[in-house]
A and B are shown apart, each in its own frame.
Chain A
Amino acid sequence: MTILIKNGVVFDPAQGIDGEKMDIAIDGDKFVEDVSSPDEVIDAGGRMVVPGGVELHTHIAGGKVNAGRIMRPEDGRKGRIPRGKLTRACSGFSVLNTFATAYTYARMGYTTTFEAAMPPLLARHTHEEFEDTPITDKGALVLLDNNWMTIEYAKSGDLDKLAAYVSWMSEASKAYGIKIVNPGGTEAWGWGKNCSINDPVPGFDVTPKEIIKALAQVNEDLGLPHSIHIHCNDLGHPGNFETTIETYEAVKDIKPSSDRQVMHATHTQFHSYGGSNWGDFESKADEIAKYINKNDHITIDLGVVMFCDTTTMTADGPMEYSLHTLSRRKWSNHDVELETGSGIIPVAYSPKIGVNAIQWAIGLELALLITDPWKMALTTDHPNGCPFTFYPEIIALLMSKAKRESMLETVSEAVGKRALIATIDRELTWSDIITMTRAGPAKILGMSDTKGSLKVGADADLAIYDIMPESFDPTKDYKTIEDKLMRTVYTIKGGEIVVRDGEITATPHGRTFWVNPAGKKAEAARDGMLEDLERMFRDYYTVSMANYPVQDEYIPHGVEIRTEVN
């Protein structure tokens, strides 16, 4: 099928196109130079035409997301939509069922969604849910940092074996990249403890910083498309910005294997806190932004908090427990043998609570203080800061000082005293926003050849919003942004029209990208690594090694990306 989109006002930061009136052509599942006699002509009529959204950090599929659904039927009740001709029944506000997740992202113009935390032992679960999450292309980041194999190799400094292990695990779990979550801390949580970046991990004579450095080095040795993707130690603790910056510094000397960062630090809002307790808790977004502005080896995503009753979920088990001790709301925890853990609790962020209001301010401050939009992706760490359905309102806040001022009147006065938001005048442009939601995250993920751009040869993923950029002032008409970014006029995924006028028109299976690191770097120490791994299975796991790797049946729409470093 060929499609020609005429008269669009195009934003495509990857090609330096900033609101130009031009036509876009699609042949099959790719963008092309031009098509003669297209099967379908879409007249965009001066509306905004942009690449399909790329979500690089969200929690949409797998064990902990589902534990959240099971624990919170009251959340399920908030998003009920009956089945339609093409669509399945929907439920959920912060823990959506798989279909609601897919349809909502597609309606908002997103076509690529990455699940940010997959425990290897439960990888099959994530992939099963992916199969029931139609439309978007997907990938999963596998949790490897609190893993006994990784910790042992970080301790012994045997990076060749660690490379062999990461390679084996990426293939076995069908993962796209390496995720690190509170390194060492979640292992310590096996004993009800936690650790910060320089504390030795209980039972292992090694520090979280050494684990981070080892994984970062191996990530580059293997030439993986994405960098390490880290949830730093001390998430949510007052004063944690120092740990965050120390984490950034730890990998400064490692050379990236491709044109991208060496470390992607996620949901940075939760890691930009000053103060020493909840009483003097304050924003250190300026310190974090200053570091990011000066250095090129780090990218971040925001993890914006908005005021609502959401569900927090993370592999950072000790953090969820400490949140639970504050609110006493129902708490789930699921430690995964030899590998990782997870915790879940509902959280209601209130504008009247000083700490929550400052958290809200920090997420926005980071976006406004970091000068280069390519260094940051827009996320809410769905559903931790708030559900991804808040993106339109967050974009309105970032584009309009007037919107911020109106909201500031409704939040705790602590924001005026211990945050910076009220003092910032910057208003982001459409080009900034499209970079932070498309081109930037695609580049950070190492997918800029195929995602986040309308360039010839890229995947034909595109969104048209009912906004006329040439006659529209986002700084004043912010309410329109909130409405129009919720529902596209068209979403096209892989050359197929999946949304028209805000309604789902097709529900194709998305693809699942996974990385198979091969070559000498991956294989040199494989035999020795396998001996160690077989011992782990024989002595400590409760599943046999033969039944462990995710079988091909779970990725019928898988796309293997082979890297080879010799």
Chain B
Amino acid sequence: MAAETVSNVVCPLCGCLCDDIEVIVEDGKISNVKKACPLGKNKIMGHDRIKAPMIRENGEFKEVSYDDVIEKSAQILAQAKRPLLYGWASLICEAQRKGVELAEEIGALIDTTASVCHGSTVVGVQGRGAPGCTLGEIKNRADLVIYWGCNPQEAHPRHRARYAHSVKGMYRPNGKNDRKVFVIDVRETKTAKVADEFVKIDPGYDYMAFSALRTILAGHADVVPDTVGGVAKEKLVEMVDAMKSCEFGVIFGGMGLTHTRCRYKNLENVISLVDELNAHTKFTLIPMRGHYNVNGSGHSLAWLTGYPFAIDFSRGYAWYNPGETTSNDLLMRREVDAMMAIAGDPGAHFPGESLRHMAKIPLIQIDPYANPTTELADIVIPTAVSGVEVDGTAYRMDGVPIRTRKVVETEYLTDEEVLERILTRVRELKGGN
């Protein structure tokens, strides 16, 4: 039994995109994973794989061939008047690009998991810009790190050690001792426990806190009330002092900002804060993207269509209007008459009202893993795991593109192959074009 170690494997789990993973392969199967966090290890080791393509008949799944599911999917999509292609986060750019081609062909709506994640960050960026940098800039320069509304200890477990806290860099040779870490959150998370300072804020008060910080920064501390969202004014003044006096600061923004009260307005406000801090020192903002290639979905959609998510091709050109063309708005209006969920799990993350409509319309799932969406799906197409069984491009949370590696062979079709075959068949059904 020959065991082989594959080095520098890129972890296809979260937006950290750690690229130093070692995978032990024995007899063509993965037997162990080293250096990865438990989340990444679990993904690379594999679990709950969908065994075969399936079609639901009389409420029960029946295993069928790839030819069958591809034919049936193509028919549904070719006939649909308002199809929605949703997901695109846990797969490689090569498949995303094919997906956009399919969306254009059938005049579909194409939307990504950003729609229920960092979409509000994107909308904030569209209002105020994106003062950011790559993670290596944090590693080498940052002496002030603020995690706001995110909990990397549990969601991005190696973030601190690789990029932002204990890691040593050019101008931070002592790692942790050269940096100060703040956590701002509504509860004392595991990350809060390892930070230098934890600032507890009342839920839904982030916008006001940013406004207070900006007011203090502008020299008007006198008009700030004694407490803002449960945070004492003295603490806010202290934070502004820390921000102004650091050499290089960063705010990592999480879902605590994007999906609480004020949503994209929170982002506009924190971006304005970062912008204004640059009059005093160097300051940046990096969104803590979740899925390993959700950032890539925004990038590939943007260069192909001009927009990063929530795109409607029903007019032949790309129409972008979040709030109208975002998945849950579409589903709640019962506008969608067929849906493909690919490399995203709306079943687990969408509200009940959306799910009720999803249950009524033909739902095609393309995914390596069974998940709550499978329970609602009419057609299930299992695929190879990108980054383990397929190589291809992913964009880290800071926009650095890395080519994921293929570690083992597979019998499953890749996402790209499935999409290509559906696209080819759709074109035939529509009588050529």
Contacts and interface: CB of A to CB of B under 8 A. Distances in A.
A69 B303 contact: yes
A72 B134 CA distance: 21
B128 interface: yes
Q: Is the interface of B mostly helix, strand, loop or mixed?
A: mixed
A540 B136 contact: yes
A91 B141 contact: no
Interface in A60-88: 61, 63, 65-67, 69-73, 76-77, 79-83, 85, 88
A71 B130 contact: yes
A476 B224 CA distance: 65
A334 B302 contact: no
B125 A332 contact: yes
B271 to A, nearest CB: 8
A98 B300 CA distance: 10
Contacts of B101: 88
A77 B311 CA distance: 12
Interface in A388-442: none
A73 B126 contact: yes
A335 B129 CA distance: 14
Given A91-B317, A547-B19, A547-B403, A542 B125 contact: no
A69 B313 contact: no
B132 A76 contact: no
Interface-central residue, A82, A89, A190, A332, by most chain B CB under 10 Å: A89
B162 to A, nearest CB: 7
Given A89-B316, A190-B137, A124 B403 contact: yes
A547 B8 contact: yes
Contacts of A85: 433
A553 interface: yes
A191 B280 CA distance: 11
Interface-central residue, A189, A334, A338, A344, by most chain B CB under 10 Å: A334
Interface stretch (A44-52, A125-133, A443-451, A512-520): A125-133
B318 A80 contact: yes
B133 A73 contact: no
A70 B402 CA distance: 20
Interface in B111-148: 122, 125-137, 139-141
A190 B136 contact: no
A446 B319 CA distance: 42
B306 A544 contact: no
A71 B136 contact: no
B19 A335 contact: no
Contacts of B302: 66, 69-70, 97
Contacts of B135: 337, 542
A76 to B, nearest CB: 4
A73 B307 contact: yes
Contacts of A92: 306
B83 to A, nearest CB: 16
A192 B282 contact: yes
Interface in B387-422: 391, 393, 395, 399-403
A547 B402 contact: yes
A326 interface: no
A542 B7 contact: no
Contact of B282 (A124, A125, A191): A191
Given A73-B306, A129-B303, A132-B97, A540 B134 contact: no
Nearest to A541: B136
Nearest to B432: A85
B278 interface: yes
B136 A338 contact: yes
B47 interface: no
A83 B129 contact: no
A66 B19 contact: no
B12 interface: no
A543 interface: yes
Interface-central residue, B122, B131, B433, by most chain A CB under 10 Å: B131
Contact of A191 (B248, B275, B304, B391): B248
Interface-central residue, A98, A192, A338, by most chain B CB under 10 Å: A192
Contacts of B284: 333, 335
Interface in B55-84: none
B419 to A, nearest CB: 16
A531 interface: no
Given A70-B126, A83-B317, A90-B317, A76 B403 contact: no
Nearest to A97: B306
A113 to B, nearest CB: 15
Contacts of A544: 8, 19-20
Interface-central residue, B127, B248, B302, B308, by most chain A CB under 10 Å: B302
Interface string B276-307: 00110110100000000000001110111111
B304 A334 contact: no
Nearest to B141: A190
Interface-central residue, B305, B393, B433, by most chain A CB under 10 Å: B305
A291 interface: no
Nearest to B404: A547
B4 interface: no
Contact of A332 (B8, B132, B163, B391): B132
A259 interface: no
A192 B400 contact: no
A547 B135 CA distance: 16
B131 A331 contact: yes
A162 to B, nearest CB: 20
A29 B318 CA distance: 34
Given A73-B320, A333-B284, A335-B284, A121 B393 contact: no
A349 interface: no
Contact of B298 (A70, A331, A333): A70
A546 interface: yes
A551 B7 CA distance: 16
A282 B412 CA distance: 66
Contacts of A546: 7-8
Contacts of B308: 69-70
Contacts of A332: 125, 129-132
Contact of A337 (B140, B318, B401): B140
A69 B306 contact: yes
A337 B130 contact: no
A543 B19 contact: yes
Given A70-B308, A83-B104, A89 B313 contact: yes
B104 A97 contact: no
Nearest to A69: B302
A555 interface: no
Nearest to A545: B8
Contact of B127 (A61, A76, A99, A330): A330
Interface-central residue, A77, A99, A128, A544, by most chain B CB under 10 Å: A128
Contacts of B399: 63, 67, 122, 125, 334
Interface in A313-332: 321, 324-325, 330-332
Contact of B401 (A71, A125, A333, A341): A125
Given A82-B315, A542-B400, A544-B8, 19 more contacts: A66-B302, A66-B303, A69-B303, A79-B306, A88-B104, A122-B399, A124-B403, A125-B401, A191-B248, A192-B282, A333-B130, A333-B133, A334-B399, A337-B139, A539-B169, A542-B136, A543-B136, A543-B400, A553-B391
Q: Which 4 A-B pairs have the closest CB atoms?
A: A337-B136, A82-B316, A91-B306, A76-B306
15 contacts: A70-B122, A83-B104, A83-B313, A88-B104, A89-B313, A91-B306, A91-B318, A122-B400, A190-B248, A333-B129, A333-B132, A540-B136, A540-B170, A542-B163, A547-B403
Interface of B: 7-8, 10, 19-20, 93, 97, 101, 104, 122, 125-137, 139-141, 162-163, 168-171, 247-248, 275, 278-279, 281-282, 284, 298-300, 302-308, 313, 315-320, 391, 393, 395, 399-403, 433
